[in-house]
Structure 1
Amino acid sequence: MTPIEYAPRSLLYVPGSNARALEKAQGLAADVLIIDLEDAVPADRKGAAREAMRAAVLASFPGKRVAVRVNGTGSAGQAADIAALAGLELDAVVLPKVDAVADLDPLRGLGLPIFAMIETPVAIYAARDIAADRDVRGLIAGLNDLAHELRLPDGMDRGAMSHAIQAIVLAARAGGCWCFDGVYNAIDDAAGFVAEADEGRRLGFDGKTLIHPSQVDPCNRAFAPSPREIAAAEALVAAATGGAQRHDGRMIEDMHVAAARALLERAGR
């Protein structure tokens, strides 16, 4: 496996109990495959999902970065999930329903980076401490569960969750880790997905979690620098002479040059 050295754009959940989905995932362009042992797996198929996950990882996903989502801390299945990860070469483990730093403790012995899912009002207020934990590499916005916990009458109303969504981004930046937007449920609404992915990038997310293969390519495009952005960054870097100066009708300084260089580096990846 190749270590995750830069923020992924697309993180696709793949049900651990779905052999066809696991096989198909090998040919997808998702930056990270998250083999799911939690919500995507019925209770009576958890054991089979663990076995299928192990077989899939051991068979390897050439060139792929692979994580596994285990069941939450305190759940009946988490210990078996963790045991099933023994000896596997993974890039990360995804932990749902992280309400406090203590929820991370069962995973620490794995020696893997943790992507912590922020899914409740309690988690929103604890997100800064969670993001600052030494084992946490990223926060994932679990917006379906958050909408339920907030008792939103219209379900996935991102406007009603705007404060919470931005709090996740703020916590990640304060803690020095990545942050990933939540899933888009309407898998047949391609235009709606693109609009939400574009919004997620504008809000500061590094990438987005996905639930269907059709979302991978548009997600990668949404979270990659556009040709216009690349051209503008190249022009800014070329024009920079150090300190504050006028460029293309606006004032720029070293901070803007650093941001342009970072954009070009991301584009090169």
Structure 2
Amino acid sequence: MTDGTLFRPRRSVLYMPASNERALEKAKTLPCDALILDLEDAVAPDAKPAARDAACAAVGSGAYGRRELTIRVNGAETEWHADDLAAACAAGPDAIVVPKVSSADEVRTLVAAMAEHGAPESTSLWAMVETPVAMLHAEEIAAASDRLTVLVMGTNDLAKELYAEHVPGRQPLLTGLSLALLAARATGTAIVDGVYNDVKDTDGFLAECRQGRQMGFDGKTLIHPGQVDGANRAFAPSPEAVEDARGILQAWEEGAGSGVVTYRGRMIENLHVESAQRILTMHEAITALEADQG
């Protein structure tokens, strides 16, 4: 039996504008794994102070169940960043999401500021990587601090910086996506894929979810509640995969000491066992989360 507490599902990570009271209320009922209460792109400049207060109040409300609750602050180069960061640290969300992180030094500066502002140890840092510089230094960024637990792909900004087009299959972005994935896996950091912009194109969205899962992403950032169910299905182990994982572990246990273990005609090695254990850990954590959300 695996321990679901060791794995936190991040299949669906939904951006919600903290300036929108109705959106914050609706988020309490959505089956997403994580929420990013946004103070940045989704909030007009004159609404940012009120959005900051609303996001911090939401974090303190205890009304979002076991959903992972994060706040995205404005970037370090903006006039709102210092106040955002101080307020978010005081509120103590599960994580603070910072846009356009491009170096390990930036991570260390952010971590030092979080400590200075008295952020609880339970509040981690999520770094958005969304520039060519960030792709080329992704491993250094991911390894810069134990407080950094998640890399968040900013694919819209990356495409802009590359002068690339948004095309099915994302060929222009694949090098950057792969570099960030390699960095995440090399450092034991979680990583979530970028957003899909056309909320009416369900087929395109699901295709990109499948691509992200096949590449190895832990989940996907989302811009609309209608995308949650598709991401949850795409990034969860299928019933067939769960059944197969259980069979592999059973065969491995029954064949202990025999030298060669097979399951359904396949030779089973340690690497297959580790993969099976990961699938079951993920499945159990998702099942527990969904049961809590009702």
Indicate the SS of the match to 2:90.
Answer: coil
Pairing 1:198–2:185 present: no
Q: 1:244 to 1:92 in 2, by over 3 A?
A: farther
Tell me the distance in 2 between the aligned counterparts of 1:157 and 1:247.
34
Partner of 2:264: 248
- Could you tell me how far 1:124 is from its partner in structure 2? 0.5
Q: CA RMSD in A?
A: 1.8
* Identity across matched positions, percent: 44
Tell me the distance in 2 between the aligned counterparts of 1:260 and 1:97.
35
Tell me the distance in 1 between the aligned counterparts of 2:128 and 2:92.
22
Match of 2:236 among 221, 224, 241: 224
Match of 1:90 among 86, 90, 93: 93
- 2:131 and 2:161 in contact (8 A); partners too: yes
Tell me the distance in 1 between the aligned counterparts of 2:99 and 2:250.
44
Indicate the SS of the match to 2:50.
Answer: helix
Which has the larger helix fraction? 2
Partner of 1:70: 73
- 2:248 and 2:263 in contact (8 A); partners too: yes
Note the 1:41-120 alignment, pairs <5 A: 41-63=43-65, 64-104=67-107, 105-107=109-111, 108-109=114-115, 110=119, 111=121, 112-120=123-131
Pairing 1:267–2:268 present: no
Indicate the SS of the match to 1:147.
Answer: helix
Q: 1:33 to 1:116 in 2, by over 3 A?
A: same
Measured against aligned partners, the alpha-carbon deviations of 1:173-206 in whole angstroms (never above 9, x if no partner) come to: 1111101000111111112111111110110001
Tell me the distance in 2 between the aligned counterparts of 1:244 and 1:77.
61
- Could you tell me how far 1:94 is from its partner in structure 2? 0.6
- Could you tell me how far 1:247 is from its partner in structure 2? 2.7
Tell me the distance in 1 between the aligned counterparts of 2:161 and 2:46.
26
Partner of 1:180: 192
| Letter of the 1:260 counterpart | A
| Letter of the 1:127 counterpart | A
Q: 1:155 to 1:258 in 2, by over 3 A?
A: closer
Indicate the SS of the match to 1:160.
Answer: helix
Tell me the distance in 2 between the aligned counterparts of 1:88 and 1:4.
25
Partner of 2:289: none
Tell me the distance in 2 between the aligned counterparts of 1:201 and 1:129.
24
Measured against aligned partners, the alpha-carbon deviations of 1:212-251 in whole angstroms (never above 9, x if no partner) come to: 1011111111111101111111111111224553332332
- 2:9 and 2:282 in contact (8 A); partners too: no
Tell me the distance in 2 between the aligned counterparts of 1:5 and 1:256.
19
- 2:193 and 2:217 in contact (8 A); partners too: yes
Indicate the SS of the match to 1:229.
Answer: helix
| Letter of the 2:28 counterpart | Q
- Structure 2 unaligned segments of length 5 or more: list them: 286-294
- 1:26 and 1:61 in contact (8 A); partners too: yes
Q: 1:90 to 1:154 in 2, by over 3 A?
A: closer
Match of 1:37 among 36, 39, 59: 39
Indicate the SS of the match to 2:281.
Answer: helix
- Could you tell me how far 1:13 is from its partner in structure 2? 0.5
Indicate the SS of the match to 1:205.
Answer: coil
Indicate the SS of the match to 2:16.
Answer: strand
Indicate the SS of the match to 1:161.
Answer: helix
- 1:4 and 1:91 in contact (8 A); partners too: no
- Could you tell me how far 1:86 is from its partner in structure 2? 4.2
Alignment coverage as a number of residue pairs = 267
Indicate the SS of the match to 2:198.
Answer: coil
Measured against aligned partners, the alpha-carbon deviations of 1:24-54 in whole angstroms (never above 9, x if no partner) come to: 0000011111100111111121111112212
TM-score by length of 1: 0.93
- Could you tell me how far 1:56 is from its partner in structure 2? 2.0
- Structure 1 unaligned segments of length 5 or more: list them: none
Tell me the distance in 1 between the aligned counterparts of 2:246 and 2:279.
9
| Letter of the 1:126 counterpart | H
| Letter of the 1:250 counterpart | R
TM-score by length of 2: 0.86
| Letter of the 2:141 counterpart | I
